[in-house]
């Protein structure tokens, strides 16, 4: 556990200094600031657009960070052979994997927090109202990003970086299509229905974790819903991390 913590802290320090991470964060903030120039709309519409834009920017840039970080953790260390120094320490493989994931989780958390706080402060400047109600949406977006990062990391333990990136996007797409696939399943038979069943069970419903629309439209979200969705995300995260650890454990270095 100590080894995992050290690897995580090291990774956080490295990532915070990396230009890619800083550029993505700056771009995200610039996009949000750009939205404040929609001054030709009615005040009510403008507020809605700014919140929608801000939350979507957090999601898109968060996803890009999750994928880049996920791809850039395990595979480059193996390619550069720097992993042998760690494994020889000895640092167990699963500790290395978990350390990298924890580091990724901290970086994504910092990014979501910074972007979220910036959005809330910017909205306060515009509307003179603290929009803390956006935080549950940002929180669940963070959980979604953790799932994407975990998938990318797990796939990167045995596949190429390109395939890992594709896997991340496919996971995202399938996760958001669950309700549509559910509708399709009702009209299917035989093998296609079975396949849709399997996909429905294998992939978490990421659309259910997407509260952006609801927080902006001020729809009441029951606390039990938040608990169910968080528990579901945590369960899937454990599954993905275990698969990643076992796959990395089996890999010939």
Of residues 90 and 190, the one with the C-beta less far from another protein: 90
Q: How far is the CB of 236 from another protein (least distance, A)?
A: 5
- Which residues are near another protein by CB under 8 A? 42, 44-45, 48-49, 52-53, 55-56, 59, 92-94, 172-173, 176-180, 182-183, 201, 204-208, 210, 212-214, 216-217, 219-222, 225, 228-229, 231-232, 234-236, 238-239, 242-243, 245-246, 249
Of 148, 163, 175, 139, the residue nearest 67 (C-alpha): 148
Q: How far is the CB of 34 from another protein (least distance, A)?
A: 13
In this structure, what token pair is assigned to residue 106? 């901290």
Of residues 15 and 131, the one with the C-beta less far from another protein: 131
Of residues 11 and 55, the one with the C-beta less far from another protein: 55
Q: How far is the CB of 251 from another protein (least distance, A)?
A: 11
Integer-rounded Cα Rg, in Å, for the chain is: 20
Query: Sign of the CA dihedral 33, 35, 41, 44?
Result: negative
My answer on whether omega of the bond before 90 falls inside 30° of 0, hence cis, is yes
Of residues 9 and 246, the one with the C-beta less far from another protein: 246
Of residues 17 and 224, the one with the C-beta less far from another protein: 224
* Segments in 128-209 forming alpha helices (H): 135-156, 161-176, 178-186, 190-202
User: Cα 62 to chain center, whole Å?
Assistant: 6
Q: How far is the CB of 213 from another protein (least distance, A)?
A: 5
Q: How far is the CB of 4 from another protein (least distance, A)?
A: 14
Of residues 135 and 232, the one with the C-beta less far from another protein: 232
Are the C-beta atoms of 28 and 57 separated by less than 8 Å? yes
Q: How far is the CB of 250 from another protein (least distance, A)?
A: 9
Of 213, 208, 215, 212, the residue nearest 229 (C-alpha): 208
Rounded to 10 degrees, what is the CA torsion of 90, 92, 98, 104?
A: 40
């Amino acid at each position: 556990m100590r080894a995992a913590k050290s690897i995580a802290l090291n990774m956080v320090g490295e990532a915070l200094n990396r230009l890619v991470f800083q550029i993505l964060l700056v771009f995200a903030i610039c996009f949000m600031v750009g939205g404040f120039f929609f001054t030709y709309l009615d005040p009510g519409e403008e507020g809605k657009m700014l919140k929608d834009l801000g939350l979507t920017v957090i999601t898109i840039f968060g996803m890009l960070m999750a994928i880049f970080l996920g791809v850039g953790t395990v595979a480059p260390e193996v390619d550069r052979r720097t992993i042998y120094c760690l494994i020889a320490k000895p640092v167990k493989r699963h500790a290395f994997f978990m350390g990298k994931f924890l580091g990724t989780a901290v970086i994504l958390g910092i990014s979501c927090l910074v972007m979220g706080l910036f959005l809330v402060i910017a909205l306060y400047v515009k509307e003179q109202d603290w929009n803390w109600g956006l935080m549950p949406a940002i929180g669940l977006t963070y959980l979604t990003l953790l799932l994407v990062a975990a998938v990318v990391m797990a796939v990167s333990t045995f596949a190429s970086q390109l395939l890992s990136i594709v896997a991340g996007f496919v996971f995202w797409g399938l996760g958001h299509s669950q309700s549509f696939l559910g509708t399709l399943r009702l009209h299917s038979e035989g093998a296609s229905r079975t396949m849709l069943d399997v996909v429905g069970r294998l992939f978490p419903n990421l659309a259910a974790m997407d509260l952006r629309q609801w927080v902006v439209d001020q729809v009441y979200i029951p606390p039990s819903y938040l608990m169910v969705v968080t528990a579901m995300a945590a369960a899937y995260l454990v599954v993905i991390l275990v698969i990643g650890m076992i796959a990395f454990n089996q890999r010939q270095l």
